[in-house]
Chain A
Amino acid sequence: MPKLQTAAELEKYRAEILAQRDPAKPCIAVCAGAACDGMDSRAVAAAFIAHVEQNKLGAKVEVRTTGCHGYCEKGPNVVVTPGEICYFEVAPADVPEIVAATIKGEVVERLVYKDPTSGAKAVHMNEVPFYKHQTRLLIGDNPKIDPMKIDDYLAVGGYAALIKALTTMSPDQVLDEVKKANLRGRGGGGFPAGSKWETTKKAPEKIKYVIVNGHEGESAAFMDRAMLTGNPHKILEGLIIGAYAIGAQKGFMYTRHDMPLLEKHVRNALAQAKEYGLLGENILGSGFDFEVELHFDVGIFVSGESSALMRSIEGNIPEPRPKYIRTSVSGIWDKPSNLNNVETWANVPQIISRGAEWFTSIGSEKSKGTKLISLSGNVVNSGVVEVPMGTPLRTLVFDIGGGVRDGKTLKAIHFGGAMGGSIPADMIDAPLDFDGMSKLGAPIGAGGLLLMDEDTDMVEVARYLMDFLTKESCGKCVPCREGMSQMLHILTEITEGRGKPGDLEKLEDLIMVTNVASLCALGKTSGDPLKSMFHYFKPEYEARIADVAGGRSEGK
């Protein structure tokens, strides 16, 4: 592939790809996302490829291995286009039947979605309850793309936003558009991305960096890896556009060391983008130079904290730094460094191509666009979900999630992983909104939504989350390291039937000090789940301690 020198060359190349593709030719897309992979979708994909090859059916049907489709619960997932026919829990033995039906334009009825109560069938994606209540602006392309093929991304209109930015917009105009779109950081803070970009852009240093935070350490969050593994070019396109707006010459992708498929896809995407001339010098003849380097975490949660992440990229121990200066002004090697989460970057191309006005038409008053949510816990349909901001939690939990498993009653909804919070079931009509959820004590965080049923022991939940965080503390500052150890100790005592009067007061002191005095967000928010539980579920804690005092302890 010769390097594409201009935007026109890229568009010409895109036209060639599309000309070679017959939209009427059936395509079988096999999900190879992390959950389906765990259900051995690899064997399913291999069976499809072998079957088509052996029977010389390549001219009649195409097989594509793709990233995560979203419906993890029912994997391995297979989607057949045209028509977006969804097959669930597909096994290698089902392959000949699916191929035969696909070629004939028929549907394999026994593999389509069946409503667990009514038995009603749903064939097409837009009829399946899990999908039909979603707005899949970001993850919707996953079933259409082989993440190893940049041409697949180009075929769905990829890099058109980059062309638009480079050829028709000044860096200031790009920044303005992102500011007008009111794109807020998807990593947890909900801080306006445009303001952050502007800070780095206006910082006096000439050398500036942009960074993709693909660390995703939050427990019960698995949507960033679904995006980055399934559609790496979308994030890369966002990053290049951001670098152009900010005036950065170099970018870093910082992601997980423990996902071989993710690494393979991202490495490949960077190499392909370079080969095509979308990275490197004079991108598409615009005069803009930009390089991206890939970095991996070192297996510790806190390396996802922005300043720790930057220390890690420098080659230092990933400890958050104690300085009161923003990384957007002084980050990697003390240069202005703008860091955004995977999902935030993924939103950039569509804001540029479709405009801020379109973007702000989706979502709630202060939270715009869609949000990727990882649904898990005691939910019928676990998976990766995308809904407009402002969607009531009820839609997420019941319409999409299918409600609570095994016919049980919902007790609590937990958001934001180990630094988030739990709210009781009766708050189910609250809208998904950065500020609203924070106010309730269950901040969206990165977007991990955990359902808890009636049997959930709320003390054990707090203990479990504290156990996780305690091990992930870097150990530098006293309130985080010692405060969490002590909180974990007290919670363990209570769960094991050795709670004492005064324990809750001690916990309250520890929550306050850890919150106010810790160096970074990990420590500061480590007591948040417990705080939310003291707000909504305190009687459960009191009862556990009272039981011990009254000699009714049964232990565990």
Chain B
Amino acid sequence: MSEMSEIVLTIDGQEIKATADMTVLDAAKSAGIYIPTLCHHEKLEAFGGCRLCMVEVESRGWTSYVVSCVYPVAKDIVVRTRSEKVDKIRKVLVEELLAHAPDAPELVKLAEEYGADRNRFEREASFCILCGLCVRYCNEVKHLNAVGFIENGPMKEISFVPEIAAKECWDCQECFTLCPTSYAQAAYMLTEALAFPGQRKVQTASEPAPTRRVIPITPVGAIA
């Protein structure tokens, strides 16, 4: 069976063996080929939101552009992880996100790689790029739903649910480290300050007061 489901495809000129349940991104990763992503996380279901992992796929003479985090591998397809058009798409996507979080380290790094101009588009410093890592991690891994999306389109934002956050977030805060812009942490702090200031876990003799874990923001340029 395992042999039956083995699929051979080409990524950047390399022949790569994959299994039928893999996406193009999985196959590329297994071969050590890098494709940039912002909303992808191994523990989470593919989201297909940032579109940065878009690649060029040639199949039966047709060229198409697909997001590799959800596109399933198929026999004999030829994948190019970079091309003039792919790079152009990534450049514009990064420029669009830089309008919201101009100093986010991952974005700054991507901007360098793809020649993105952080001042090209109208700034609206919301600091959140809506990758949804916090929302999905809280839902899929922690099953807590302490943070969710509200509104739609350009009004969309993440929001902590005070009733849940007051109970659950203190001991967790795992989403803070996932956030590419540190906004999740800021949004939580704001919720705490506004909705339940000082109402942390009740201290008992047997259980000492937990110490707050604050994730330091990595300064721009500090990451290799």
A residues with CB within 8 A of B: 300, 322-324, 470-479, 481-486, 489, 506, 509-510, 512-513, 516-519
Q: Do the beta carbons of B46 and A322 come within 8 Å of each other? A: yes
- Kindly list chain B residues whose C-beta atoms are within 8 Å of the C-beta of A475: 130, 149, 151-156
CB distance from B80 to the nearest CB of A (A): 14
**B122 located at the interface, meaning its Cβ lies under 8 Å from any Cβ of chain A in the complex:** yes
The stretch of B14-22, B65-73, B199-207 that contacts the partner chain = B65-73
CA distance A310 to B99 in the complex (A): 33
A300, A324, A474, A510: the one contacting B92 at CB < 8 Å is A510
The stretch of B49-57, B162-170, B180-188 that contacts the partner chain = B49-57
CB distance from B88 to the nearest CB of A (A): 7
Interface of A is mostly: helix
Which of B49, B52, B66, B155 neighbours the largest number of chain A CB atoms within 10 Å of its CB? Answer: B49
Q: Do the beta carbons of B93 and A478 come within 8 Å of each other? A: yes
A475-B130, A476-B49 known; A516+B65 contact, CB < 8 A: yes
**B85 located at the interface, meaning its Cβ lies under 8 Å from any Cβ of chain A in the complex:** yes
A470, A479, A519: the one contacting B96 at CB < 8 Å is A479
The 8 closest A-B pairs by CB, nearest first: A322-B48, A475-B156, A482-B96, A473-B153, A513-B92, A517-B51, A485-B154, A475-B153
For window 68-95 of chain B, which residues contact chain A by CB distance below 8 Å? 70-72, 85, 88-89, 92-93
CA distance A457 to B18 in the complex (A): 54
Q: Do the beta carbons of A509 and B92 come within 8 Å of each other? A: yes
**B27 located at the interface, meaning its Cβ lies under 8 Å from any Cβ of chain A in the complex:** no
CA distance A509 to B87 in the complex (A): 12
CB distance from B189 to the nearest CB of A (A): 24
- Kindly list chain B residues whose C-beta atoms are within 8 Å of the C-beta of A512: 88-89, 92
- Kindly list chain A residues whose C-beta atoms are within 8 Å of the C-beta of B153: 470-475, 481, 484-485
Which residue on B lies nearest to A475, using beta carbons? B156
CB distance from A198 to the nearest CB of B (A): 21
CB distance from B50 to the nearest CB of A (A): 5
CB distance from B7 to the nearest CB of A (A): 15
Q: Do the beta carbons of A324 and B96 come within 8 Å of each other? A: no
Q: Do the beta carbons of B152 and A519 come within 8 Å of each other? A: no
For window 116-169 of chain B, which residues contact chain A by CB distance below 8 Å? 120-122, 124, 129-130, 149, 151-156
Which residue on A lies nearest to B132, using beta carbons? A476
- Kindly list chain A residues whose C-beta atoms are within 8 Å of the C-beta of B104: none
Which residue on A lies nearest to B94, using beta carbons? A478
CA distance A323 to B45 in the complex (A): 11
CA distance A478 to B65 in the complex (A): 15
CB distance from B121 to the nearest CB of A (A): 5
- Kindly list chain B residues whose C-beta atoms are within 8 Å of the C-beta of A323: 70
CB distance from B100 to the nearest CB of A (A): 8
A322-B46, A482-B99 known; A517+B93 contact, CB < 8 A: yes
A300, A322, A510: the one contacting B70 at CB < 8 Å is A322
- Kindly list chain A residues whose C-beta atoms are within 8 Å of the C-beta of B93: 478-479, 482, 513, 517
CA distance A484 to B65 in the complex (A): 20
Which residue on B lies nearest to A518, using beta carbons? B51
CB distance from A318 to the nearest CB of B (A): 9
- Kindly list chain B residues whose C-beta atoms are within 8 Å of the C-beta of A483: 92, 96
A479-B96, A513-B92 known; A324+B71 contact, CB < 8 A: yes
CB distance from B72 to the nearest CB of A (A): 7
B71, B88, B97, B152: the one contacting A513 at CB < 8 Å is B88
Q: What are 22 of the A-B contact pairs (CB < 8 Å)?
A: A324-B71, A470-B154, A471-B153, A475-B149, A475-B153, A475-B155, A477-B49, A478-B51, A478-B96, A478-B130, A479-B51, A479-B92, A481-B156, A482-B99, A482-B154, A489-B122, A506-B120, A506-B121, A516-B89, A517-B65, A517-B93, A519-B49
**B47 located at the interface, meaning its Cβ lies under 8 Å from any Cβ of chain A in the complex:** yes
CA distance A186 to B168 in the complex (A): 49
CB distance from B120 to the nearest CB of A (A): 7
Q: Do the beta carbons of A473 and B152 come within 8 Å of each other? A: yes
Q: Do the beta carbons of B121 and A486 come within 8 Å of each other? A: yes
Which residue on B lies nearest to A324, using beta carbons? B71
Which residue on A lies nearest to B65, using beta carbons? A516
- Kindly list chain B residues whose C-beta atoms are within 8 Å of the C-beta of A486: 96, 99, 121-122
CA distance A512 to B89 in the complex (A): 8
Which of B51, B93, B155 neighbours the largest number of chain A CB atoms within 10 Å of its CB? Answer: B51
CB distance from B182 to the nearest CB of A (A): 19
CB distance from B43 to the nearest CB of A (A): 18
A476-B49, A481-B130 known; A513+B89 contact, CB < 8 A: yes
Which residue on A lies nearest to B66, using beta carbons? A324
CB distance from A235 to the nearest CB of B (A): 29
- Kindly list chain A residues whose C-beta atoms are within 8 Å of the C-beta of B88: 509, 512-513
- Kindly list chain B residues whose C-beta atoms are within 8 Å of the C-beta of A509: 88, 92
Q: Do the beta carbons of A516 and B85 come within 8 Å of each other? A: yes
